[in-house]
């Protein structure tokens, strides 16, 4: 209150007792303010709060969903990893065993092959030897026949005889 | 005196009259301007808040006026819910109106206007709403039992008007008292200043001391009285609701959830 009012008792009396214009102004102001605060302040505030709450709820639900999915995926990944490790070790041991077996087989086969080849070579050698011996024998027989034929056809003297022998020896070479 | 001159005579205070003879219900009081300006200020604040809020999305961070308004509205809503229960959440609008209207209306005295509550019509009108509210909640929750106390104790017929008188005169008296103290203090300072010889007519002593008094009586008192008026209003209403809350288990649960002011707190508030 302004100081000027307080020194005038008449004004205090008028301020203390009801006043029509102040009452009308107050009622109008009250109605205007109540409508205004409801329409432009409180209701928009509640609407905004609702929207914000809904958004936060959505984000929380979304985060929870994602977390659940991530947990499930993590579990699956861990299971897969464990299975993969078991599989890998079994594959490795199987491969090792197989490789060992193959190695042994190969060694056996190679040994057999060597023995077989040796045997075959020996046989072929013997065969070749036999064949050469036959050939030589046949050649000697033929040469003997040829020499006998020559002896029968020609007169035998010392010089001719020498020459035939030399030819024979040359043929042998 | 014709009709027109009668109306004009009643619009201007009669300086020659004293006592009840000076009273006229049609006199134009300076509080009228304060009411208009206060309404305009609250309107501007509301529009400002609404426009800024419209621009914000649900994920945007509020700031400035919007943030301050949201914290304040939430606080008021919390007070209403704690005292009266979530059912009466919509009364937040009325409490907001009381706080803003009385608070800003009282603060107008800082810039040279009359405080809104120094015209007793204003606190009386708001006190009447509180008073009618007590009857409304009393009859709604107690039905015919509400009037039983008047039969049992006829003195209640007198004491029923206590809330109306105390709530309205507290507001009016505090502000009027504050201004009277300031006027007396100003006179005292003027008197002391006048005793010092060879000093000019400018009262420097009042100029130095009065702002501190104004800080208390105009700003602090103006705001605290608005808060007390609003809290007392919903406390009176909440008491009527609370007393009823022993009938059904469901209602009891609601009553437990509410936290009305204790008698001690109420006494402190009434003394203020």
Tokens 């059912």 belong to residue: B87
One DSSP character per residue, B45-70 reads HHHHHHHHHHH--TTSPP-HHHHHHH
- What's the confidence (pLDDT) of residue A35? 93
Interface of B with A in 104-133 (CB under 8 A): 109, 112, 114-115, 118-122, 124-125
- Our CA-based measurement puts residue A34 at a distance from the nearest CA of chain B, in whole angstroms, of 7
Chain B partners within 8 Å of A17 (Cβ): 23, 25, 120
Name every chain A residue with its beta carbon within 8 A of the beta carbon of B172. 16
- Chain A residues within an 8 Å CB radius of B69: 41, 45
CB-based contact B73 A2, cutoff 8 Å: no
Handedness of CA A112, A113, A114, A116 (dihedral sign): positive
* Separation in Å, CA of B76 to nearest CA in chain A: 11
Domain locations along chain B: 63-257
Q: How far is B266 from chain A (nearest CA, A)?
A: 26
Global ipTM = 0.77
Does A22 contact chain B (CB < 8 Å)? Answer: yes
- Choose, out of B9, B25, B78, the residue to mutate when testing the contact with A (most A CBs < 10 Å): B25
pLDDT of residue A165: 76
Per-residue confidence (pLDDT) for residue B20, from 0 to 100:
60
Cα separation, A9 vs A12, whole angstroms: 5
B40 shares contact with chain A (CB less than 8 Å): no
CB contact under 8 A, A14 and B120: no
How close A44 comes to chain B (CA, Å)? 7
Compute the distance between CA of residue B189 and CA of residue B4 in angstroms, rounded to an integer: 45
pLDDT of residue A63: 94
Q: How many residues does chain B have?
A: 272
Nearest CA in chain A to B25: A19
pLDDT in tens, B152-201: 887 878 888 888 889 889 988 888 888 888 888 888 888 888 888 777 67
The pLDDT value given to residue B61:
77
User: What is the reported pTM?
Assistant: 0.68
Taking residue B106's Cβ as centre, other Cβ atoms within 10 Å add up to 29
Contact: B92, A33; criterion CB under 8 Å? no
Interface contact flag, B97 A33, Cβ < 8 Å:
yes
How far apart, in Å, are the Cα atoms of A167 and each of A80, A147, A150? Answer: 93, 10, 11
Show the tokens assigned to B258.
Answer: 């509410």
Report, as ranges of residue numbers, the positions in chain B whose pLDDT lies below 50.
1-2, 246-256
Region for A19 from its dihedrals, namely left if φ exceeds 0, alpha if ψ lies in -120 to 50, beta otherwise: beta
Digit-by-digit pLDDT tens for chain A (173 residues) are: 444 445 566 677 777 778 788 888 889 999 999 999 999 988 998 888 888 889 999 999 999 999 999 999 999 999 999 999 999 999 999 999 999 999 999 999 999 999 999 999 999 999 998 899 888 888 888 887 777 777 776 666 677 777 777 887 777 76
């Amino acid at each position: 209150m302004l100081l000027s009012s307080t020194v005038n008792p008449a004004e205090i009396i008028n301020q203390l007792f009801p006043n029509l214009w102040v009452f009308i102004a107050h009622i109008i102001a009250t109605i205007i303010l109540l409508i205004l605060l409801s329409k432009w302040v409180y209701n928009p505030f509640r609407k905004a709060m609702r929207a914000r709450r809904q958004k936060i709820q959505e984000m929380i639900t979304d985060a929870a969903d994602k977390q659940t999915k991530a947990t499930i995926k993590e579990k699956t990944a861990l299971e897969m990893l464990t299975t993969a490790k078991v599989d890998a070790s079994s594959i490795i041991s199987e491969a090792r065993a197989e490789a060992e077996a193959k190695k042994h087989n190969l060694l056996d086969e190679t040994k057999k092959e060597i023995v077989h080849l040796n045997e075959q070579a020996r046989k072929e050698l013997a065969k070749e030897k036999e064949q050469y011996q036959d050939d030589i024998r046949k050649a000697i027989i033929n040469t003997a026949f040829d020499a006998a034929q020559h002896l029968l056809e020609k007169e035998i003297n010392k010089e001719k005889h020498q020459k035939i022998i030399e030819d024979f020896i040359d043929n042998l070479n | 005196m014709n009709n027109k001159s009668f109306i004009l005579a009643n619009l201007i205070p009669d300086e020659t009259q004293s006592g009840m003879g000076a009273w006229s219900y049609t006199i134009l009081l300076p509080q009228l301007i304060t009411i208009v300006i206060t309404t305009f200020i609250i309107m501007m604040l509301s529009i400002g808040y609404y426009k800024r809020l419209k621009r914000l999305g649900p994920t945007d961070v509020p700031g400035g006026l919007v943030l301050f308004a949201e914290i304040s509205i939430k606080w008021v809503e919390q007070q209403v819910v704690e005292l009266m229960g979530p059912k009466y959440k919509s009364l937040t609008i009325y409490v907001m109106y009381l706080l803003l209207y009385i608070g800003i209306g009282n603060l107008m005295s800082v810039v040279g206007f009359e405080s809104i509550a120094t015209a007793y019509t204003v606190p009386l009108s708001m006190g009447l709403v509180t008073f009618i509210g007590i009857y409304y909640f009393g009859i709604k929750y107690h039905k015919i039992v509400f009037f039983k106390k008047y039969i049992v104790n006829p003195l209640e017929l007198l004491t029923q008007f206590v809330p109306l008188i105390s709530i309205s005169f507290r507001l009016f008296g505090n502000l009027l008292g504050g201004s009277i103290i300031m006027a007396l203090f100003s006179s005292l300072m003027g008197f002391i200043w006048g005793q010092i010889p060879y000093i000019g007519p400018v009262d420097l002593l009042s100029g130095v001391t009065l702002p501190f008094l104004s800080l208390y009586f105009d700003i602090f008192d103006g705001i605290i009285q608005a808060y007390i008026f609003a809290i007392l209003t919903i406390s009176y209403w909440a008491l009527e609701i609370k007393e009823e809350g022993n009938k059904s288990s469901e209602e009891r649960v609601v009553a437990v959830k509410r936290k009305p002011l204790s008698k001690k707190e109420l006494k402190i508030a009434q003394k203020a």
